[in-house]
Amino acid sequence: MDPALSRALERVADGLAEMGAGNPGPYAACWADSTDVTLFGARGPIEKGHHAVTRTVERVGSRFGNGRLVPRYEVVEHSGDLAYTVGTEEGTVRVDGGEPRPMAIRVTHVYRRIEGDWWLVHRHADLPPPDQRDG
């Protein structure tokens, strides 16, 4: 794997750990400073542009506390200056000061290489529905 992409994945993992603890700043810092970054949030927010995306990340992350979110990747791929990950974010967090509760979110991230470093440019997340297959 590209060493710069490995570093970006570590930054995102560290940022998500902080997000679960109620400190969204490090995860917000993983986003490209661009007008075309997008966020399709797990609970409905859709944002475009660096300011709107990071503002929403900061608002959502400020609701968490005393927890940790850990990314688990099923797929990590890159070609040229684009990369993506597919997987989950899992952990136990407090939301709005409530009791600790488990959280599992399906997540796809898209990264762009800009001047040698990889930055988030898209996030699509949702809450996994029950498996509806027969059997």
Per-residue confidence (pLDDT) for residue 135, from 0 to 100:
61
Q: How many CB atoms lie within 10 A of CB 86?
A: 14
Long-range contacts of 78-84 (CB under 8 A, 24+ apart): 78/1, 78/2, 78/5, 78/111, 80/113, 81/112, 81/113, 81/114, 82/110, 82/111, 82/112, 82/113, 83/2, 83/5, 83/110, 83/111, 83/112, 83/113, 83/118, 84/108, 84/109, 84/110, 84/111
* CATH number for region 3-126: 3.10.450.50
For residue range 82-109, list pLDDT tens digits in order: 999 999 999 999 999 999 999 999 999 9
Model-level pTM? Answer: 0.92
pLDDT, the chain, mean: 94
pLDDT per residue, tens digit, the chain (135 aa), is 799 999 999 999 999 999 999 999 999 999 999 999 999 988 778 999 999 999 999 999 999 999 999 999 999 999 999 999 999 999 999 999 999 999 999 999 999 999 999 999 999 999 888 888 876
Q: Collapse the DSSP code of 25 into the 3-class scheme (helix H, G, I; strand E, B; otherwise coil) and give the result.
A: helix
Domain boundaries, the chain: 3-126
Task: With beta carbons less than 8 A apart as the criterion, state whether 73 and 87 touch.
Answer: yes
